[in-house]
Chain A
């Protein structure tokens, strides 16, 4: 309820602020919504939206495939930690634009390069999350499982994985937040379609109605994914967790 109220308030503030500038420079919420509706009714948003979504999903999957094993390795082995932590920091520091440029120059202006650039940018943050998670594993539970004669695979599956899983979930969510932004940037510099491409296109035409319409569309889709898909999954998977009252 409060969430809804705050959103309504934000729309009102947006409307009020937009009155300070001419509508072609800073369109208000009604104008933007009308433009967005026109785009949706025209049917041209879907290709761009679907392409962006595919890149986001592919990028996230690849980022998890790269980031999770490295994080687990760093959590388990001191030697791996000593060697890799500086590289994770470097990976984290290099701007996503650099990865995008390198990927497009080296691998060509194609989907593969785009997904690689997206994944490489997001992977270090995922690695850090998992690394911390693995370090937090409760080894006393492992000792307990060993006393009960659990086999090694059973310990991994039933004692270790459930402890790492929350961190994988958290990094997926958190990675998604980063990946949306990188994807738009990557599309802007190297793809012929997608939300980022469209934003840049309308920016070049200085059509602020369209720029804000696409921003709005993107934000709504992101919120829907968060609220309709990720939150419910998290609630179901972590039903066992105690409620923290502060």
Chain B
């Protein structure tokens, strides 16, 4: 398998004000193959977002090697990050201009992905006029419009209510099955990871603790008992492992909607 993302001995330290430095990423190794859907699962503050920022090129100060090939990188943030003074369509245009996508292709790209996410009617709406779920879908359209080879996603559905998040996860999977982009998806939700991923990397304290393949056949259904069973196993197998390493930064109180109702108890124990 040819890798489009190769990370070797990646280290990243932050200096705090009193001069002490804290390692956020500790000798990380990662290889992601073309068209693969990888989930990085870990508690808040474990370095997931830092890793994505390095992969996206937002963070250029690090040691080790982080090599991303295989086309443009698309990034879906935890929040939609739409420009509030532009309409939905103008927000897409902003991305298309910035990425220098030939103008001849714009209307086809926009129409395709807007239709795919059910937003075709909302081209002229401003971000504050649409719901949070729609705004996040629009952000997904924006990321897809520029035809990235690799899509990085940073807990993109964690701020949404569970019903909306569920729909978006299914939408994402069908889009992925249609386009086969490489996706690195960061989450703290074990159920979400098991539903989406080909492979799950469990991260804690700046390193990967475990790695597992998801054996569930595609297309998957969100209510598949196999997904449920697997997410339980993941938490059982890795929960203690994660719990042992104290997370350096304060962990914000887990929002109830982030944790799948089924495993709230186990999840709370490991702060996932």
Contact = CB atoms under 8 A, between A and B. Distances in A.
Contact of A141 (B56, B74, B83, B87): B83
Nearest to B56: A147
Given A158-B94, A240-B126, A148 B81 contact: no
Contacts of A150: 94, 98
Given A146-B58, A240-B86, A140 B79 contact: yes
A170 interface: no
A144 B77 contact: yes
Given A146-B58, A147-B58, A162 B85 contact: yes
Contacts of A148: 94-95, 98-99, 142, 146
A143 B58 contact: yes
Interface residues of A, number: 18
Contacts, number: 52
A137 interface: no
Interface in B106-159: 126, 128-129, 142, 146
Given A162-B85, A240-B86, A242-B128, A145 B98 contact: yes
A202 B87 CA distance: 55
B81 A141 contact: yes
Contacts of B100: 149
B75 A147 contact: yes
Nearest to A158: B94
A141 B126 CA distance: 16
Contacts of B64: none
A90 interface: no
A62 interface: no
Interface of A: 140-141, 143-151, 154, 158-159, 162, 240-242
Q: Is the interface of A mostly helix, strand, loop or mixed?
A: helix
Contacts of A158: 83, 94
Q: Is the interface of B mostly helix, strand, loop or mixed?
A: loop
Contacts of A162: 83, 85
Contact of B99 (A140, A143, A149): A149
B84 interface: yes
Contacts of B72: 149
A243 to B, nearest CB: 9
Contacts of B56: 147
**Which of A147, A150, A159 has the most B CB atoms < 10 Å from its CB?**
A147
B73 interface: yes
Interface in B68-108: 72-75, 77, 79, 81, 83-87, 94-95, 97-100
Interface of B: 56-58, 72-75, 77, 79, 81, 83-87, 94-95, 97-100, 126, 128-129, 142, 146
Contacts of A151: 98
A240 B126 CA distance: 6
A78 to B, nearest CB: 13
Nearest to B128: A242
A241 B86 CA distance: 10
A240 B85 contact: yes
3 nearest interchain CB pairs? Answer: A150-B98, A242-B128, A144-B81
A87 B261 CA distance: 57
Contacts of A147: 56-58, 73-75
Contacts of B79: 140
Given A149-B98, A149-B99, 19 more contacts: A140-B77, A141-B81, A143-B58, A143-B77, A145-B98, A147-B56, A148-B95, A148-B142, A149-B72, A151-B98, A158-B83, A158-B94, A162-B83, A162-B85, A240-B85, A240-B128, A241-B84, A242-B126, A242-B129
B74 to A, nearest CB: 8
A149 B97 CA distance: 9
Contacts of B57: 146-147
A244 to B, nearest CB: 10
Contacts of A242: 126, 128-129
A150 B81 CA distance: 15
8 contacts: A143-B77, A143-B81, A147-B74, A148-B98, A162-B83, A162-B85, A240-B87, A240-B126
B99 A240 contact: no
A42 to B, nearest CB: 48
Nearest to B79: A140
A149 B145 CA distance: 14
Nearest to B84: A240
Contacts of B84: 240-241
